[in-house]
Structure 1
Amino acid sequence: MSKSLLFIPDISGYTKFIQSTEIEHSQHVISELLEVLVNANTQDLKLAEIEGDALFFYKENEIPSQENLLAQIESMFTAFYSHLKMLEKNRICPCNACATAPNLELKIIAHSGNLQHIEVQGTRKPFGEQVIEAHRLLKNSVQSDNYVLISRTLALDIMLSPYYSSKIYRFRQGSDVYDDREVEYIYSLIDAKELKLKSFSEPKKVFFAKPPPIVKKKQFPVSAQTLLEYITNYSYRNYWAEGLDRLDYNENEVTRLGTEHACVVNGKHLNFITVSKEERLGSLLYGEYTNSPPIVDGFYQFYHFTPIGENSCELEIEAYWEAKSPIKKLFLALMGKKFFGKNIEKALTSLFRFVESRN
């Protein structure tokens, strides 16, 4: 029987992150990162299990070459830190989960050995001594939370020198004792600054030469951050946005600049993207843009959340529109404020009722 690869990417700082931040957003962040790691699988590894903050991959009866394994490791670190950079640059939420997500780190454990399997509810999973040993290697004496650790067994299999060095890797030797048996390994700390991070879409930030045609204000008996959550967490949208058939959005994603959602009204899709403009000092900001309504070429709606007290805030909604054709311009000049203003007033009233019911 040929040896198999065991491969465990593990998010460092997960426990502290989950315990000390907003639970729902922290869960979304971890879910996104795990998905990013799964998508960075370049070696056709099989996912045996999701273990909270870690992924357990394996490659049965095959071990990638030294070059391919190191490339796989680099791919996952690059994808992980690219996503954290995007979360940092595009975030709109001030909660602790979104603010501290860039502090998360990654460690990867790689091991090799002969695998056994067990079947649980029709699912075949790796089992045995080598699986246990790979997981034990997660508890090691490496003085970092950001590294790759390769067991000596695997290093010998792929002929990886304990002194291998490159731009990304600078391996050194280590060992720990598990159940009175010393297990040797090599490890390399990973400097995220040395990774070639992937580019991401720049957030859409807009500027307006004229004041907004529509401005509506209302005070709410809830904090500015909580009200921001009610509006940007699309799972709440059906409770206060009238006339919706449904809302299509990514349920495992925290809303940020560039995220998209679609409101389905009378069977028609209105596609929105999160945008930004210049923020006001002391206020939180959320903006949406759509070019779906046929009566406009573009419609912007910005929500300003200004704290009044610990459990109260003022919400100000600004609306802007774009129109190119003379007919659209004429309609909007005559009816735009009335048409859109009425809808915004209704939304504010429904939102207020929803907030009161939650309180």
Structure 2
Amino acid sequence: MAKSLLFIPDISGFTKFVQTTEVAHSQHVIAELLEVLIEANTEELQLAEVEGDALFFYREGELLSQEKLLAQIENMFTAFTGHLKLLEKNRICPCKACATAPKLELKIVAHCGDIEFLEVQGNRKPFGKQVIEAHRLLKNSVESDNYVLISKELSSDIELPIYYYSKVFRFKQGKDTYDQKEVEYIYSIIDSNKLNISEYSKAKEVVFDKPPGIVFDRNFAIPAESLLEYITNLSYRHLWVHGVDKFEYTENEVTRLGSEHICVINNKHLNFVAVKKKVKPGKYVYGEMTRSIPIADTLYQFYTISPISENSCSLKIELYWETKSILKKLLITLFAKKVLMKNTKTGLDLLFKLTEDSRSIPSSK
């Protein structure tokens, strides 16, 4: 029987990450990163299982060539590192989970051997001695949390030299003992600076040369971070934004600069994207921009939160709009501004009532 490939990307630091940060946001960050790794599976490996912070891939009865295996490994490290940089640069949330996410690392273990399969409720999962061995290789003596480890058996079968090196890889020999059996492997610590990270979308800072068209202020008897969560967490949005039939957004994602969502009103889809503007240090700001409303070319809405004490803060809501049409400017002055003021005031009142009713830090998305 031809050997099968066993391939396990594992996010390093997950346990500590969850134990020392806000659990819900950390779970969403990990979920995002796992999705990134799955999308980076360019060799169409079969996904057997999501194992918490790791993915268990396999290819039945076939090994990848050394060129394809190394390309697959590099592709996953590149995608993973690129997404961490995106999270770092476009972060809105100040919580520990979002702040420490860029410190997460990745290790990949690749092994091979004869495997059997267990089928439960239509799900086919590899099992056997080699599967156990592959998972045990995750616990090794490599002095890093950002590396690839390839078993000696696999490296021999695909004729990957023990001391192979390139711009990204520089392999060394290693060995560990499992159940009184010595297992040899080669490994390469990955320097993220050597990866060819593609340009990712950075949120553009918005600058205005005029005062806002609408401003509302209100104090809240909850911590500033909690109010920011109520505003940025789109799962709360239906509780305080009046007149929207539904909100469409990516549920397994912590809102960040560049995040998009859709408001559906009377079957009309209004597209919004998260943006930023400068605020004084110590304040939190979240903004949204849309070009979908008919009365203006662009509409911006910013929420600026200023801590007052440990359990209180003030919120300033500012609306800006831009239009080149004289007719639209007239419509805004005569009609639309009153509607925007009414809707914003209603939303602010509902948001205040929501926080008053809860009076506790909301659960993250």
Q: CA shift at 1:336, angstroms? A: 4.4
> Deviations 1:281-323 (Å, cap 9, x if unpaired)?
2210000001111111110000000001111100000100011
Report the 3-state secondary structure (helix = DSSP H, G, I; strand = E; otherwise coil) of the residue aligned with 1:110. Answer: strand
Q: Could you list the structure 1 runs, at least 4 aligned residues long, displaced by more than 4 angstroms after superposition.
A: none
Q: Which amino acid aligns with 1:22?
A: E
1:14-93 alignment, distance < 5 Å:
14-93=14-93
Q: Distance in 2 between matches of 1:330 and 1:306?
A: 34
1:309 aligned partner: 309
1:101 and 2:101 aligned: yes
CA-based RMSD: 0.9
Distance between the aligned counterparts of 2:278 and 2:150, measured in 1? 48
Three-state SS of the structure 2 residue aligned to 1:339 is: helix
- Structure-2 residue corresponding to 1:130: 130
1:194 Cα deviation (Å)?
0.3
Q: Structure 2: which amino acid aligns with 1:297?
A: D
> In the TM superposition, what are the counterparts of 1:233-312 in structure 2 within 5 Å?
233-312=233-312
Which shifted more, 193-202 or 98-107?
Answer: 193-202
C-alpha distance in structure 2 between counterparts of 1:202 and 1:142, whole Å: 35
Alignment of 1:115-264 (within 5 A): 115-264=115-264
Q: Which moved more, 1:114-123 or 1:309-318?
A: 114-123
What residue identity is the alignment partner of 1:291?
R
C-alpha displacement at 1:94, in angstroms?
0.6
Residues 9-45 of structure 1 show CA distances to partners (whole Å, capped at 9, x for unaligned) of 0000000101111111111100000000000001110
Q: Which secondary structure does the structure 1 equivalent of 2:25 belong to? A: helix
2:242–2:343 contact (8 Å) kept in structure 1: no
Amino acid at match of 2:228: L
| Conservation of the 8 A alpha-carbon contact between 2:295 and 2:336 | no
Query: SS of the counterpart of 2:71?
Result: helix
SS at match of 2:69: helix
1:92 aligned counterpart, secondary structure: coil
Amino acid at match of 1:191: D
**1:344 is paired with a residue of what secondary structure?**
helix
1:204 shift after superposition: 2.6
Shift of 1:326: 1.1
Once the two structures are superposed, what CA deviation does each residue of 1:313-339 show, in whole Å capped at 9, x if it has no partner? 000001000112111011223344422
The equivalent of 1:338 in structure 2 is 338
SS of residue matched to 1:302: strand
**How many Å separate the matches in 2 of 1:320 and 1:280?**
19
Distance 2:349 2:265 in 1: 19
Range moving further from structure 2, 336-345 or 258-267: 336-345
**Deviation by residue 1:155-213 (Cα, 9 ceiling, x = unmatched):** 00011111111111111001000011000000000000000012111213211101111
Q: Which residue of 1 aligns with 2:325?
A: 325
List runs of 5+ in structure 2 lacking aligned partners: 360-365
SS at match of 2:288: strand
1:51-72 CA-partner distances (Å, limit 9, x unpaired): 0000000001100100000000
Q: Whole-Å Cα distance in 1 between the matches of residues 329 and 240 of structure 2?
A: 30
Q: TM-score, normalization: structure 2?
A: 0.97
SS at match of 1:57: strand
Could you tell me how far apart the structure 2 residues matched to 1:229 and 1:167 are?
42
Three-state SS of the structure 2 residue aligned to 1:94 is: coil
1:319 partner SS: strand
- Secondary structure at the aligned position of 2:316 is classed as strand
Deviation at 1:341, TM superposition (A): 1.4
State the distance in 2 between where 1:90 and 1:165 align: 34
